[in-house]
Amino acid sequence: MYRSHNCGELRATHNNTEVTLAGWVQGVRDKGFMIYVDLRDRYGITQLYFDEDQSSKALMETAQKLGREFVIQVKGKVQERTSKNPNIPTGDVEILVSELNVLNGSKTPPFTIEDETDGGDDLRMKYRYLDIRRNPVKNSLVFRHKVAQAVRNYLSNDGFIEVETPYLIKSTPEGARDFVVPSRMNEGQFYALPQSPQTFKQLLMVGGMDKYFQIVKCFRDEDLRADRQPEFTQIDCEMAFVEQEDILNTFEGLTRHLLKEINGVEVDKFPRMLYDDAMRLYGNDKPDIRFGMEFGELNDVAQHKDFNVFNSAELVVGIAVPGGNAYTRKEIDKLIDWVKRPQVGALGMVYCRCNEDGTFKSSVDKFYDQDDLAKWAEVTGAKAGDLICVLSGDTNKVRAQLSALRMELAERLGLRKSDEFAPLWVMDFPLLEWDEDTERYHAMHHPFTSPKPGQLELLDSKPGEVKANAYDLVLNGNEIGGGSIRIHDKAIQAIMLKHLGFSEEEARAQFGFLMDAFEYGAPPHGGIAFGLDRLVAILGGQETIRDFIAFPKNNSGRDVMIDAPAPIDDEQLQELNLKLNLKS
């Protein structure tokens, strides 16, 4: 037996008990005639004590040779510490060591295994197995486990069945590039890794499973943005014989359960917002509603003067920054520089101070009088002491730019509090979106999303106006889940694929298996998928997902610890009948 107790469980009630512990050396304090060693495992830290009056010379010599991260086993008696440590649960006791076994030595770690470490991101990712020993990462992984268990328990108790679906599947267009896997036994043919189990969960509904879920790995070979991973985890769910309202109620329940179970927070309201309203009021389809600063569209009150920057714009839009009139001119100039960064892309920013005496002072006073500026304040909801920030340009671009500014200002003002949770359903997304590069429509979600009832006939005449029977669940400005009512009729699915540019032959080649299944009594069905990585991070009060993933990739999609992806040798290429044609 390597240990009778772990390093986090001993208390004063264990005094005079003989115990065996094992773990890693956190630190050594050698006082000459006595040595203190902090022993660490997943559960905590226990202080070990060696004393030359009570320990043999050989034992003292062995203890003096211990280094950080040595793996050791000790036996000894629990005794009361003379100098207690109230900062750790085991701080009232220590172990008077009678036997010490070095199970494995350790090189000096490349960074300190402490909560506050001296290791940078790249170094810690290279030695991720060491980083996991640190409390912030270890606790994040334990936290992820708790969330996943709570999800499984809730869904299982609600009658959902967990079913595993294949990882080696057929490549089907679902929005991003597939990772492909060559088949040795089927020359010249390839599997794909699933972007989601979408078609399989629909087939499970055809198979009568009724309520399915799976915590599943998904894969997308896309250019990585900040805090994205090429492999990610979904809580994937599907239900048969349901309408949209059934799904919203079910997964409001799951979200409430998680917030209560994991965070101790009661959330009653799950407001609903139309996609069009989210874009108009917040500039994006996943608004953070923990704070205000809603957009005010100023075209009607700003395009009547000789200011051509506004007159030539498709949209003039502003927000009121609470207390922003206190900003100095230098601080406002920095804001203007911030929106002009390439990541945001604005050409500039107009501002207006709302003075305490009810007057206004703007950067365009040459063109606008006090009555004009008062209308700006009315439209944006600005009050005395606020600052109005105004951007203009093409509608889609300027909304995205002002949305980025709104979030940045909220961060600076401390309005994005990690212990506050504001869920929101965003509804009625467009079914299709126009792609300028390919000059055709693409599915905004995926090709199996049903149009809203009564809108199918618009596909021929006004395809861009058709709304999807789709919904996203947003939490604190992050999309944590998205889903839709699916098409379950073969004829309607064929119409949808036709409008997405598939010929009958292409549709048959890509989705024939699903179309065939629809001919054997497919029930009405729909579902949702939660991004587990993102959900766990938000519940854990963080914005980034990396520390909640055991072995993450970097922003280039590389695992720097195992050095992957990597070349394969010529013999493997020959077995797979592959030849490389690399661009120089």
Given a contact cutoff of 8 angstroms between Cβ atoms, the answer to whether 78 and 93 are in contact is yes
Given a contact cutoff of 8 angstroms between Cβ atoms, the answer to whether 2 and 20 are in contact is yes
Side chain identity at residue 526, one-letter code: G
Nearest to 554 by CA among 233, 234, 235, 231: 231
Side chain identity at residue 349, one-letter code: M
Distance (Å, whole) CA 430 – CA 467? 4
Eight-state DSSP code of residue 14? G
Distance (Å, whole) CA 358 – CA 360? 7
Which residues neighbour 360 within 8 Å (Cβ) at sequence distance 6 or greater?
352, 353, 354, 370, 373, 374, 376, 377
Pairing status of strand 440-443 against strand 423-427: unpaired
Eight-state DSSP code of residue 329? H
Which residues neighbour 431 within 8 Å (Cβ) at sequence distance 6 or greater?
443, 444, 449, 451, 452, 455, 459, 463, 466, 467, 468, 470
Phi, psi of 316 (to 5 degrees): -115, 125
Known binding residue 220? Answer is yes
Residue 566 tokens, joined: 């990597």
Give, in order, the Cα–Cα distances in Å from 545 to each of 195, 343, 534. Answer: 19, 21, 6
Known binding residue 174? Answer is yes
Distance (Å, whole) CA 392 – CA 378? 18
Given a contact cutoff of 8 angstroms between Cβ atoms, the answer to whether 138 and 41 are in contact is no
Provide the 10 A C-beta neighbour count for residue 123.
15
Task: Please enumerate, as own/partner, the contacts of 332-336 that have beta carbons within 8 Å and a separation of 24 or more.
Answer: 332/387, 335/389, 335/405, 335/409
Q: Please name the residue that has the structure tokens 């040779």.
A: 65
Known binding residue 276? Answer is no
What residues form DSSP beta bridges with 74? Answer: 21, 100
Known binding residue 229? Answer is yes
Distance (Å, whole) CA 30 – CA 409? 51
What residues form DSSP beta bridges with 449? Answer: 486
Known binding residue 341? Answer is no
Residue 433 tokens, joined: 């979106």
Distance (Å, whole) CA 297 – CA 303? 11
Known binding residue 532? Answer is yes
Give the CA diameter of the chain: 94
Given a contact cutoff of 8 angstroms between Cβ atoms, the answer to whether 169 and 203 are in contact is no
Known binding residue 531? Answer is yes
Known binding residue 479? Answer is yes
Known binding residue 506? Answer is no
Task: Please enumerate, as own/partner, the contacts of 176-180 that have beta carbons within 8 Å and a separation of 24 or more.
Answer: 176/220, 176/221, 176/222, 177/220, 177/221, 177/222, 178/219, 178/220, 178/221, 179/219, 179/220, 179/221, 179/230
Annotated binding site for ATP: 220-222, 229, 479, 531-534
Annotated binding site: 174, 220-222, 229, 445, 479, 486, 531-534
Annotated binding site for L-aspartate: 174, 220, 445, 486
